[in-house]
Amino acid sequence: MNKIILAFGIIFLFIFSAVAPIAFGNNIFYTSENNKLMITNGCNNRGWSGTEEVSKGSPPSFNPSLMVDSLGNVHVVWYANRYGEGFWILYNYKTDSGSWNDPETIESGGLNEMSRCSPSLYVEDDGTVHVAWADTLDHAGSGNDYDILYKNRTNAGIWSNTEVVSTESTSNSEYPWIVVDNIGTVHVVWEDDSDYAGAGDDEDIFYKYKTAGGSWSNTEVVSTESTGTSWYPSLEVDNSGTLHVVWQDNTDYDGSGSDVDIIYKNKTVGSSWSNAEVVSTESIDSSCLSSIYVEDDTSVHIAWSDSSDYQSSGSDYDVFYKYKTPADSWSNTEVVSIESTEWSRSPSLIVDNIDTVHVTWDDATDYPGASDERDIFYKNKPNGGSWSNIEVVSTESIKDCSCPSMDVEDDGTVHVAWEDDTPFLNTKIYYKYRISQNQPPNKPSIDGPRIGIKGTEYDYIFNVLDPDWDDVRFIIDWGDDNSEITDFYPSCTDAIVSHI
């Protein structure tokens, strides 16, 4: 999309004032104050909001999981290290037009306990919050090994009692992922090294569900073909109730080799799990930390970190992407983080309702707008289009940022939460959003001499940030019965125009 900026000025004989720019778009206009020159700012933000703290006074906080409900309320869970008191699971939310509340404690720890890990969040349309996490507390005789625990919160703010999901497990159960289907059934997958149903004592992917008002089902082993380690699962459910699971596995599936690959399975209602499919077929090295999203038409999208030197991406980790429509096989692999020169990891992927793919990840590349530490990067790909340029989300951060979690509203607004070490030794959960609807350009800046001699040519530099990162051009009224229309320029790019 292209946009137009109109700039006006007045010239008085031998001296003239600075032009007073007006930017028009979507029936909104901006003018300069007191006819003064303006300095361009925010060109690295590209439409992102300012950073907000989610953890608000919590002790060091890690590994957020974020989701936005149908009313635009943002929900986040994470775990926090209360030194001397163990690790606690915390929750916070903000309304669509409000600010973050004080964090709520979902589960509190005891002395000298091991860390809980990887809380997972799902929010229903009515605002009911569902949380699963791994914990060493001995709930209901579950023992002091890791087990998968579950709670929900009504839209009135009432938390349920804690439930043990992994009741058949005899060893560590970790890294849960939770979703809820459109009839209220709760589904959970996790990594477990119990020798259950002949799974062996290596890590496998386990699954359970709980109908609305019912009890937890028996455990099912998802990774039945695996002979190696299966870990870090992600789960999605489509509108028909079909479950889609992806995880990383070092089993030699279909000749994929003994390196780590991304494996996918699905399960339609009333049937068994499908055969395993290798997603990372072009990979010749380690593929890990996958994220999955399934559209209403059941198209499956997957992003992951991969150390293969694919399409000249280098031997460091990069973010790879594939998709599969209902009628087709898996697409070719695409490198998302093609500009990255350092490790790109922990991608979070989602697709909006106009089929734009959004991906965020953490990256150590010293990209413009980023610090020399790890930052949160973002890209999108419109339906039928190409990947956008990298946008740096964590522009205010000066320390390592990691573990981003993302959701997108129906209007295209992108929400991202991440853990941030900027307050040294006091890691916090931060948040930003990005409005993706078409927006007018910001105030343009004009740089050039304010006083000049009649008949002499002077250069003026016009620059403007467009929040949608669309190309812009300037229509300039010089105030002497002359006007000029520039070519289109990328957002935040200098347009140099000369005038006598």
User: 459 and 311 in one domain?
Assistant: no
* pLDDT tens digits along 14-41: 333 333 333 333 322 333 333 322 233 3
Give me the number of domains the chain comprises.
Answer: 2
SS3 184: coil
The last residue of a domain, from among 391, 413, 434: 434
- Within a domain: residue 156? yes
* pLDDT tens digits along 125-183: 989 999 999 988 788 887 778 899 999 999 999 999 999 999 999 998 999 999 999 99
User: 355 and 312 in one domain?
Assistant: yes
User: 70 and 8 in one domain?
Assistant: no
CA distance 304 to 332: 14
- Within a domain: residue 240? yes
Q: Which of 467, 493, 497 is nearest to 1 (CA)?
A: 467
User: 485 and 371 in one domain?
Assistant: no
**The pLDDT of residue 114 is above 90:** no
Q: What is the span of the domain harbouring residue 478?
A: 2-45+443-499
* pLDDT tens digits along 346-403: 999 999 988 999 999 999 998 888 887 899 999 999 888 999 999 999 999 889 999 9
- Within a domain: residue 53? no
CA distance 263 to 383: 25
User: 426 and 388 in one domain?
Assistant: yes
- Within a domain: residue 354? yes
The last residue of a domain, from among 391, 406, 434: 434
- Within a domain: residue 287? yes
DSSP symbol at 139: G
pLDDT at 22: 36
Q: What angle do CA 160, 78, 345 make, to 5 degrees?
A: 140
CA distance 492 to 46: 9
* pLDDT tens digits along 77-91: 999 887 667 788 999
User: 280 and 384 in one domain?
Assistant: yes
Burial of 367 (0-12, 13-18, 19+ CB in 10 A): buried
User: 430 and 288 in one domain?
Assistant: yes
The CATH number given to whatever domain includes residue 334 is 2.120.10.30
**Could you tell me the CA-to-CA distances from 487 to 5, 467, 475, 476 in Å, in that order?**
11, 19, 10, 12
CA distance 38 to 443: 8
**Could you tell me the CA-to-CA distances from 64 to 11, 90, 121, 433, 440 in Å, in that order?**
56, 10, 9, 15, 32
For range 69-98, the mean pLDDT: 88
* pTM assigned to the model: 0.80
User: 336 and 485 in one domain?
Assistant: no
- Within a domain: residue 237? yes
pLDDT at 3: 61
